[in-house]
Homo-oligomer: A and B are copies of this chain.
Amino acid sequence: MPQSTSNRAKAHSAAKKRSAARSRDTAEPVDNVTTVYNELRSLIITGQLPPGARVAERAVVARTGHSRTPVRSALHRLQQEGLVASVGRPGDQRLIVTPLTDADGHEVFLLEGHLEGLAARQAASLPLERRQQLAHRLREINRGFAAAARTRTAPAKLFSFDHQFHETFVEAASGPRLLALHGSLRPQSERYARLYVGVLLADLPNSVKEHEAIAAAIAKGNRAAAQRAAERNWMNAARRLAKVIVKQGERGTRRPAKA
């Protein structure tokens, strides 16, 4: 352990044994960078790292206990996905949590709808049996969604239903690349979604109907209708979102707060 030559001790070695243990039987030997990535993503999505907040490598290092290398990788990943943005010209660059703006939110939802529209269209192109089976599963989820909506369930639960619905038909009908694109976009829309959870709750019946339209089109094998229905679902969400943002003001466009 060649750190004795270091001038200041900088208590650091405390509590570190994380990686190394690569147990083969845990069935999920998560990478260190993935761990950090997931942790940060969660913090950002839930707003615990607010929009506009500085995200300093070293701060993350201190918080997570990992070294700079994996942290750096995780940050790169977040940056490419757009959850984190770098400000300042090359050679400088500070990282901040991407601000939530009207324009950006609109684009995210538009793209999400566009991609899911493609997925829905492809789902409607599946062979009859698979397609029926998928529609059945979708309706099942949507029933749960509707039921939860009627009973003032906790927002997190509602999110989960909605998320599951979308994820289901996207996964069923997409190739790996569409899946990857959608996967990198999803956390972003989710971040916005949490912002307008209030409005969403008032509008649940519409969401349920829109979902049913998607399921129905898939069941019938009507490609165009499936695509339109998926797109409409997101467009409507975007419209609702816009109202909330103008009402609440954008987030993170001001001076950065520290993490």
Taking A29-B91, A91-B22 as contacts, is the C-beta distance between A175 and B80 under 8 angstroms? no
A111 touching B76, Cβ below 8 Å: no
Q: Is A107 an interface residue (CB 8 A)?
A: yes
Expressed in whole angstroms, the Cα–Cα distance for A110 and B69 within the complex equals 36
Within 8 A of B (CB), among A209-234: none
Chain B min CB distance to A137 (Å) = 24
B104 touching A177, Cβ below 8 Å: yes
Which residues of chain B are within 8 angstroms of A107 by Cβ–Cβ distance?
A: 175-178
Q: Is A77 an interface residue (CB 8 A)?
A: yes
Which of B22, B69, B73, B180 makes the CB contact (< 8 A) with A82?
A: B180
Q: Is A103 an interface residue (CB 8 A)?
A: yes
A177 touching B29, Cβ below 8 Å: no
Chain B min CB distance to A171 (Å) = 15
Q: Is A118 an interface residue (CB 8 A)?
A: yes
Q: Is A90 an interface residue (CB 8 A)?
A: yes
Q: Is A114 an interface residue (CB 8 A)?
A: yes
Q: Is A16 an interface residue (CB 8 A)?
A: no
B31 touching A108, Cβ below 8 Å: no
**Interface of chain A, helix or strand or loop or mixed?**
helix
Expressed in whole angstroms, the Cα–Cα distance for A107 and B173 within the complex equals 12
B111 touching A114, Cβ below 8 Å: no
Which of B31, B34, B80, B111 makes the CB contact (< 8 A) with A178?
A: B111
Which residues of chain B are within 8 angstroms of A118 by Cβ–Cβ distance?
A: 110-111, 114
A31 touching B180, Cβ below 8 Å: no
Contact with B along A158-176 (1 / 0, CB 8 A): 0000000000000000011
Contact with B along A67-111 (1 / 0, CB 8 A): 001001100110010100000011100000000000110011011
Q: Is A43 an interface residue (CB 8 A)?
A: no
Contact with B along A118-139 (1 / 0, CB 8 A): 1000000000000000000000
A-B residue pairs in contact (CB < 8 Å), sample of 25: A29-B89, A29-B91, A30-B90, A31-B91, A34-B90, A69-B69, A72-B73, A76-B76, A77-B80, A80-B80, A82-B177, A82-B180, A104-B175, A104-B176, A104-B177, A107-B175, A107-B176, A107-B178, A108-B177, A110-B118, A111-B118, A111-B177, A111-B178, A114-B115, A114-B118
Question: Which 4 pairs, one residue from A and one from B, show the smallest C-beta to C-beta distance?
Answer: A107-B175, A107-B177, A22-B91, A31-B90
